[in-house]
């Protein structure tokens, strides 16, 4: 059975919002449902994702690791951040044009220095949790895994195989090279606005707000493309 892990890794609750904005996204339910249906037959997991929510990624990783049947993972474009963890959940291959990227967990915090200290502790603990997946796959030490993450390590297909993160380079695949690594992470403010509109007792009256939210997201995406040089101003 085929399972696609594409786009941003998101929670089950947020998946519908990404669909609303027509963004590729994968949530744990997208993987758990076919696993339940597979009934022990081999799983063919295709990854092209820049990562996203680490908890959603961890749930997907755990589900694949605990599956009683065969799990074959194919990195066909990009496996970064949370997606690189998922790539460690079974036997794997990688397209010659594909890449893997690992880095530290990130997050946002606001408050006094106690909050900042606590946030730092949480992030460092989360880093160790993610490192455990790399350690289990490669046999590297925690120190080596954390150092690789701390350096934001970008790996070609061959380097990913040399590191032990991927088992082998795939053969005879006609695949496209991924051109950009940032995932389209929808700002929490936009997610909250969409949720409030849906919960409104008069949702039709709030369509203008929904349109503004969508336009705001589109504008942010265009500005990001300009920064990357994908759009050139006259």
Catalytic residue ranges: 81, 103
Structure tokens, 188:
């929490």
DSSP assigned state of 232? -
Query: In this structure, which long-range contacts are made by residues 142-148, counting pairs with CB atoms below 8 Å and at least 24 apart in sequence?
Result: 148/102
Query: DSSP of 20-58, one letter per residue?
Result: HTT--EE-HHHHHHHHHHHTTS-EEEEEEEEEE-HHHHH
Burial of residue 234 (number of CB atoms within 10 Å: 0-12, 13-18, 19+): exposed
- C-beta separation of 146 from 127 below 8 A: yes
- DSSP conformation class of 166: S
The b-or-e profile of 193-202 (16+ CB within 10 A means b, else e) is bbeebeeeee
């Amino acid at each position: 059975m085929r399972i696609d892990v594409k786009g941003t890794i998101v929670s089950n609750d947020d998946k519908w919002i990404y669909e609303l904005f027509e963004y590729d996204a994968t949530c744990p339910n997208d993987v758990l449902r076919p696993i339940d249906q597979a009934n022990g037959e081999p799983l063919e997991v295709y990854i092209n994702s820049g990562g996203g929510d680490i908890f959603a990624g961890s749930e997907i990783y755990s589900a694949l690791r605990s599956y009683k049947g065969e799990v074959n993972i194919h990195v066909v474009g990009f496996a970064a951040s949370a997606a690189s963890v998922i790539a460690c959940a079974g036997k794997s291959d990688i397209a010659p044009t594909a890449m893997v990227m690992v880095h530290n967990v990130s997050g946002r915090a606001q408050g006094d220095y106690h909050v900042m200290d606590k946030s730092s502790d949480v992030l460092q603990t989360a880093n160790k949790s993610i490192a455990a997946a790399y350690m289990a796959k490669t046999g590297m030490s925690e120190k080596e895994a954390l150092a690789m993450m701390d350096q934001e390590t970008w790996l070609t297909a061959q380097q990913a195989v040399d590191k032990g993160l991927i088992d082998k380079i795939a053969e005879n695949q006609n695949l496209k090279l991924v051109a950009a690594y940032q995932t389209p992470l929808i700002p929490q403010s936009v997610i909250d606005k969409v949720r409030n509109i849906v919960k409104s007792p008069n949702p039709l009256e709030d369509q203008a707000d929904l349109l503004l939210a969508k336009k705001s997201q589109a504008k942010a995406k265009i500005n990001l493309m300009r920064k990357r040089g994908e759009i050139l101003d006259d």
